[in-house]
Chains A and B, each alone.
Chain A
Amino acid sequence: MAYVAVKGGERAIEAAHAWLAEERRGDPALPELSLDQIEAQLGLAVDRVMAEGACHDRGLAALAIKQARGDLIEAAFLLRAYRTTLPRFGASLPLETDAMRIRRRISATYKELPGGQVLGPTFDYTHRLLDFALAAEGGTPPPAPEAEAAPAVMPRVTGLLAQEGLMAPEASSEAEPCDLTREPLAFPAERPLRLQALARGDEGFLLSLGYSTQRGYGNAHPFVGEIRMGAVMVEFEPPELGFAIELGEITVTECQMVNQFAGTKTEPPQFTRGYGLVFGHGERKAMAMALVDRALRAPELGEPVEAPAQDQEFVLYHCDNVEATGFVEHLKLPHYVDFQSELEKIRLLRREASGE
C-alpha cells in the first residue's frame, strides 16, 4: 500500500476541529456535562472505556468520553494513547477475587450456595420499559434498603466442584506472564496472553463470538458457575519497601463459565473453566470473555478446532477495537496513487475486452 504525503488543508482542518468542539459542547444554553456527572451517572460507559482502554482511571475515562462525544471506541483509543505517556512502576500482585467485597454474586448452577445469591445493582428483572419519570428529571431515588450483612465468606463455585474432584484444576504456575503491550502477539499464544487480549478486547466482538459458540459454532455447553462483582484490593510491592502495600480498591467483574469435558485417555470426565475478568461492572463482557476463553482452550483439551471462536489467530488478531478501528478507518486516508493505478488497470482491461 502506498500513501502520498499531501500538503495543504490546514485551514480546513482547523475549521473542522473548531466545528467539532462546537458540536461537542452542543447548545450553550444547556448546562455543560461535568466529568463527575459522567463518572457517577454514566458509570457503565466509564467502565467499558477503562476495560477496552486497558487503563483503570475513572476520571480519565470520563474525560475521554466527554472529549469523544460519547463515542466509546474513540474514548478507549484516547485512553490507550494517554497511557503511553506514563512510566510503568511495575506489576501488582495478582488480584484475589475470592476476597472480593461482594456487591453482586450469582450462580446458575447451584441455587443455594454458601454466601447465597446476591443480586446487587442489576438490570436483570427490570421490564425494559422506558421510564419516563427519568425523562421528567427523576430526582433523587429513595435510598436502597439495607439488611443485616452476614460476615459472608463467599467461596467460589469452582472451588466447590474442585473439592469433589469434578473441576479441572488450573495451572498453578507463577511464571511472569507475557505482556501484549510489550511484545507483539506470537502464535500459539499461551492462555495468560489470550486472557489479556480478551480483557481489553471489544465487547461487541466478543459477545457475538461467545454467542456463536452457543449456537453451534464450537460445540459449547456452558453454565454460569458464578458471576461476582465488587471491590478488590490492588496490592503492589515497591522494591524500596520490601513488603506489599495496598494501592487502593478497584471494581471488577469475574465470570466462571463451567463446561462439560468428556475426558481423555489420561483424564477423567470433569468440568473445565472458561474465565472472564474485566475492570468495572462489565457483566456481559465478562461472560462473553469466559465463553471465548473456553472456546480457545480447544487444542489443549484435545477438542477439534472448527469454529471461529476456537481459532486463536482469528480471535486475537481481531478482538482489539483500537487496532480494528485504526485499520478500517485508515481506508479514508488519501489513497490517490493506489487508486490511480487501479483506474488505469480497469481502463486497460475494458479497452482489451472491447477489442480496441
Chain B
Amino acid sequence: MVPEPALPDPPLLQAMRRRWMGLLARADAATIAARLAEAPALPPHIRLRGPETGLVMTRGRQGGDGAPFNLGEMTVTRCSVRLEDGTVGHAYVAGRDARQAELAAVLDAALQDPDRRPALLAAVIEPLAAAEAARTAREAAKAAATRVEFFTMATMR
C-alpha cells in the first residue's frame, strides 16, 4: 500500500480543485503556457487517458426551474495524467484543445502537492483569476450602460 499523501481537509481540497480546474477550463492553451513560463517546471507525467475529444450533453430545465431536458451537446476534451509520485490529475475542458486539456490535467496533479502549490497558484492560477475578473467586470459594465433608466412622468395604473 502507498501511504496516503498529506492532504488538507478533503472538502477544502475539493473546493480548491474545483476552482483551479474551472479557471484552467476557461483559459486557452497559449495563455496557460505563457503563465507556466514564469512558474517552476512541471513534474514529468504519464498519460492515463486522453487527451481525447468527446461530447457532453448539456441540459436545461423546463420553465427554467423544472424537470431537466436535453438542450444539445457540446464538445469537451478530457485528459488524465499520473505523476511519478502517483498523484492523478484530471481535466475536462470545453472545446477541442488537446494541449489545454493536458496542461490542465498536469497542473491539477501538481497543484495537489502542498509543496508545489503556492508557486503554481501565484504564477498560473491567480493571474488567470484576475484576468477573468477583469473580463467579466468589463462586460458587466457594458451591460450596465445599456440598462434602461425610466423617467416616469406620472404613475399610471
Contacts and interface: CB of A to CB of B under 8 A. Distances in A.
Q: Do A and B come into direct contact in the complex, CB within 8 Å?
A: yes
A250 B94 contact: yes
Contacts of A93: 59
B54 interface: yes
Contacts of A54: 72-73
Interface stretch (A2-10, A240-248, A346-354): A240-248
Contact of B143 (A118, A240, A252, A277): A118
Nearest to B70: A196
B55 interface: yes
Contacts of A327: none
Contact of A248 (B94, B136, B150): B94
Interface string A141-175: 00011111110100010110000000001111111
A224 B137 CA distance: 28
Given A93-B59, A177-B59, A146 B145 contact: yes
Nearest to B57: A91
Nearest to A50: B72
Interface centre among B63, B92, B150 (most CB of A within 10 A): B63
B62 A247 contact: no
Interface in B70-105: 70-76, 78, 80, 90, 92-96
A273 interface: yes
Contact of B57 (A173, A179, A192): A179
A170 to B, nearest CB: 3
B75 A55 contact: yes
A262 B107 CA distance: 58
A86 B54 contact: yes
Contact of A144 (B96, B137, B142): B142
A215 interface: no
A61 B105 CA distance: 27
Nearest to B63: A170
Contact of B73 (A56, A118, A156): A56
A221 interface: no
Contacts of A250: 58, 74, 94
Contacts of A116: 147-148
Contacts of A171: 62, 66-67
Given A54-B72, A111-B150, A247-B25, A234 B143 contact: no
Contacts of B136: 101
Interface string B26-54: 10000000000000000000000000111
B3 interface: no
A346 B25 CA distance: 65
A97 B80 CA distance: 30
A120 B137 contact: no
A301 interface: no
Interface string A64-98: 00000000000000000001001111111111011
Interface string B114-157: 00000000000000000000001111111111111010000000
A236 to B, nearest CB: 6
Contacts of B57: 88, 90-92, 179
Interface in A232-283: 233-234, 236, 238, 240-241, 243-250, 252, 254, 256, 273, 275, 277, 279
A248 B143 contact: no
A159 B66 CA distance: 12
Nearest to A235: B22
Contact of B67 (A149, A158, A173): A173
A112 interface: yes
15 contacts: A60-B75, A83-B55, A89-B76, A92-B74, A95-B59, A98-B64, A101-B136, A116-B147, A116-B148, A171-B62, A171-B66, A177-B59, A191-B62, A195-B62, A230-B143
Given A56-B94, A170-B62, 19 more contacts: A56-B72, A56-B73, A86-B55, A87-B52, A88-B57, A89-B92, A90-B56, A95-B59, A101-B139, A119-B146, A144-B142, A170-B64, A172-B66, A172-B67, A179-B57, A180-B70, A238-B92, A247-B74, A273-B63
Interface of A: 50-51, 54-57, 59-60, 83, 86-95, 97-98, 101-104, 111-112, 116-121, 144-150, 152, 156, 158-159, 169-181, 191-193, 195-196, 199-200, 230, 233-234, 236, 238, 240-241, 243-250, 252, 254, 256, 273, 275, 277, 279
